[in-house]
A and B are shown apart, each in its own frame.
Chain A
Amino acid sequence: MKTPLIEVRDVGQRFRVNSGLLEKKRQVVAVDGVSLKLMQGDVLGIVGESGCGKSTLARIILGLLPPTTGDVLIDGQDLSKLDRKERARLVQPVFQDPFSSLNPRRLVRDIVALPLHAQGDVTSAEMRKRVDTMLERVGLDPAMGDRFPAQLSGGQRQRVAIARALVLRPRIVVCDEPTSALDVSVQAQILNLLAELRREFGLSYLFISHNLAVIEHVATEVAVMYLGRIVERNDTASLFHAPKHPYTKALLASVLTPEPGLGIPETGLGDAMPDPANVPPGCRFHPRCPVAIERCGREAPAITRVGNGITECHLITSM
């Protein structure tokens, strides 16, 4: 069997936060017992609502945040034992907001060159050549290299962020909501570019988004997160056409596809909003679940295999 490119094993992340001047510190459970694998050439989509832990998971996989528990293997090597340079050659990020993820005081050329610079073994002539090639490849005129981020549009800035991520030719790109800050016409351009680059450079993506239409379009496999846990994971077609977990079903039902005449869907979800500082006992989805039974509030469901995927729900176990 092939080694997964990323293997996340039972990873947890807890934060202690101040909840007020005189109140006790509270514990926030951002990620709780998450395991997943990303195989070479795949795109693993991670969906979930705000506070579900998807961005925390991205930061753990990028090595920006050491997890409280569990471990992450990149290409079979323990992430915590790799140094920064080795890590940078394997995994690179593209973040949501190209307005805050690029240094406003640096020229585009220097922003894209930074990962090469950090490796320390590239001549400046070589560096210039590689930066120009990469700018061209992401659809920017190399002359743009001499501008500042503020002189570029949102779509152009996101292209710069992609060029910076790819200049070291990493094997994995972690895309955290890469198109959420962009207009739809620009979003389409960036998604098309990411798809081309994946084929051309043989990349694998971990693709985080709250936009299910985007995830269905780009991902080969999808994990649905709720309050720090993966509640369902499957190949994209199975997850979208035969969702198992009630949360996945509600999430898919809530998507407003651009088809007039269908009206606004009834999600069936309760109003109790998920709070990572106050995770409910039993199944963490039960306060909002439209089909919860008594057992759901008492006992956490175990992981159940369903076809190629997994899910965590008492009603699936008992079926």
Chain B
Amino acid sequence: MMEITEGSHAVAEAVRLCRPQVVSAYPITPQTHIVEALADFVANGKLDAEYITVENELSALSACVGASAAGSRTYSATTSQGLLLMTEVVFNAAGMRLPIVMSIANRAVGAPLSIWNDMQDSISLRDAGWLQFYAEDNQEATDLHFLAYKVAESKEIQLPVFVCFDGFILSHTYEPIDMLLQEQVDQYLPKFDPAEKLDAKDPISFGMYATPEYYLEFRYEMDQAQKRAKDVIAKAGKEFGTMFGRDYSALTVGYLLDDAETVIVAMGSVCGTVKDAIDEMRAAGKKVGLLKIRVFRPFPSEEIAKALSKVKRVAVLDKNISLGAKGGATAIEVRDAMYGSMIPVKGYVLGLGGRDIRKKDIKEIVSLCENGIGDQFYGLRKELI
């Protein structure tokens, strides 16, 4: 059913349709509209869930750990400082193989304090064991939540998922959304039925400690599950497409890639701007394309290498920076995926702390890349440095 709605409200509605039994969250800008909407659903009987109004984000995710281990589908949402405050639990939840889904309304991290968008928060936790999905628009932000529960709860995976969408740019923007109906979601997403849970009828111990004789294998198993997730996402995304017409089987999505000479690799809402810029560059005779990364964990290395095997050069946009390393995380990992191909991969760190990224910036980056200039910040105000 088409409706025009705010990104956060669309996400909240998607979460409601997934029927979580326990919601636990702490308010933080720009995530607040999601958790307010969910509280309102519970208060008005539209969502049959326990809503735990915790005292901080560490407790928000800790309560999800308990609820998930006890056998309930659980949900939380956060961003930026809140995500970092719960970091210890983020790693813990993945290590305990609990299929929690958490929305991240991506925001910069302090200092200096910034409430505006970039992806430093979730990217910084890329090694925590969570799957990471990134939405380009609010339709995708909405749909990826259905996919997230389906994949997380798959017996082959049992890992938690971040569904990331750009704070303010998507979370506070109204767009037309094709919202699924309850019976459609129920048909796609079966009831949560974990293989193991805290249950007096069949006692097990969760979260034991492992000596050096055992620890390495626990991490190996998590990595194997991440790798298996590629196929599980492909299958669940295809099923979604068959049922509802929007296919999410691909971990990366190309735009005018076939004959492209310069390809921009990007994640999130900036992909819309990139596509518009590409259209204009194409009209001017430049063969430019886009490879959008929708799934950052598991990282689609093989898919990227294959998609970019015939291009002349690659420009990677990063709304994050691995300080002291060679640029942002995406560029570093794309370069690793392309290792041995001789195709130059240039990284551009931009848009941090909510700095606007415009079509002309994309065009300028393409020019820089064509001239072999890259692996740098883009858009610095020279008068300030």
Say whether A and B bind each other. Answer: no
List the interface of chain B (C-beta within 8 A of A): none
